[in-house]
Structure 1
Amino acid sequence: MEAWFAGVLQWLALPQFGLSTVFVVALVSATLLPMGSEPAVFGLIKLNPDLFWPAILVATAGNALGGAVNWWMGFGAKRAYESYKHSSVQAKALAWLEKLGPRACFFAFLPIIGDPLATVAGWLKLPFWQCFLWGALGKFLRYVVMTAGALWIWPGQFQIG
């Protein structure tokens, strides 16, 4: 299993697979698995400055689709656990999410709470496409800010163009 995993990682690291690697890493990092995709985006852009906008868009697409996976997981979990009882903290969080509605999914880019947020949105059966679009907007802005900030800190020979 370790040899297979190492082989997959080597394959994904090849330059011709840069954007697809960013897509896969962004998708997986948006699920409930604990990992970040910003280093992959930054690394690809640092090696290929002309891929700034394609990398941002591919990462956003992968991360937004990962958020959609979370929404569907929450939707399915809701159907499986209709009788679930909530603590007072959970009840307050759910009330906040219900009050804000799909706009709350804008914050799905936040570490720790972002991925469960999309899952709970599905649990509450908030409108899928509205949640998806708000989540994609937040994720897009995060990638632009994080990548531009990292490039400002470590400028090298990079130019957006």
Structure 2
Amino acid sequence: MAYLTLFLTAFAAATLLPAYSEVMLGAMVTQDYSLWWLWFWATAGNTLGSVVNGVIGRQVDRFKEKRWFPVTEEQLEKARNRFNRYGQWSLLLGWMPLGGDALTLIGGVMRVPWLNFVVLVAIGKGVRYGFVLWLVLNTAGVPSESVPSP
């Protein structure tokens, strides 16, 4: 059940919903959970949340003419141009706290092929969660005997 909670929190954190999966992951490190599974479920949930952003991005053209749509055509064009400058490789930065969600949304707008989208986003998210685990293990004073093995 704890892994599912971590997965759902990481999923929500990749969307516009307020969620802090790093805090939950950090707290779970000191408990009797496999580091491998913690990393896996956090990465999987956060990557899937970014896929939702990509799906939403692919629908932008359907709604951009609506009065309620929150982004102007000019803003959308500016985002497209910025994304084109670095291309799909910028999805490796989809983990960033500020702007990462927007990158994955624009990746959808730009119709990055799904395999490329998922692989690049998952690499970025996986590295981030690996860093969070490393940081907690090396700075929080977690005794090595209390860290479960994978």
The bucket for the TM-score relative to the shorter chain is 0.7 to 0.9
Instruction: Give TM-score, length-normalised by structure 2.
Output: 0.85
1:62 corresponds to 2:48: no
The match for 1:75 among 58, 62, 81 is: 58
Length, aligned pairs only: 142
Task: Report % sequence identity.
Answer: 27
Instruction: Give TM-score, length-normalised by structure 1.
Output: 0.80
The Cα of 1:80 is off from its aligned counterpart by: 2.1
The Cα of 1:77 is off from its aligned counterpart by: 1.7
The match for 1:130 among 88, 92, 116 is: 116
Gaps of 5+ in 2: 67-71
* Matched residue type, 1:133: V
Alignment of 1:121-160 (within 5 A): 121-158=107-144, 159=147
The Cα of 1:160 is off from its aligned counterpart by: 6.0
Provide closer, same or farther for how the CA distance between residues 116 and 141 of structure 1 changes in structure 2, counting only shifts above 3 A: same
State the Cα deviation string for residues 100-127 of structure 1 (Å, max 9, x = none).
Answer: 2221111000012001110111112122
The match for 2:73 among 82, 85, 102 is: 85
Distance 1:109 1:150 in 2: 18
The answer to whether the 8 Å contact 1:29/1:66 transfers is: yes
Provide closer, same or farther for how the CA distance between residues 140 and 130 of structure 1 changes in structure 2, counting only shifts above 3 A: same
* Matched residue type, 2:8: V
Higher relative contact order (CA 8 A, sep 6+): 2
Considering only aligned residues, what root-mean-square deviation do their CA atoms show, in Å? 1.9
1:116 corresponds to 2:134: no
Provide closer, same or farther for how the CA distance between residues 77 and 92 of structure 1 changes in structure 2, counting only shifts above 3 A: closer
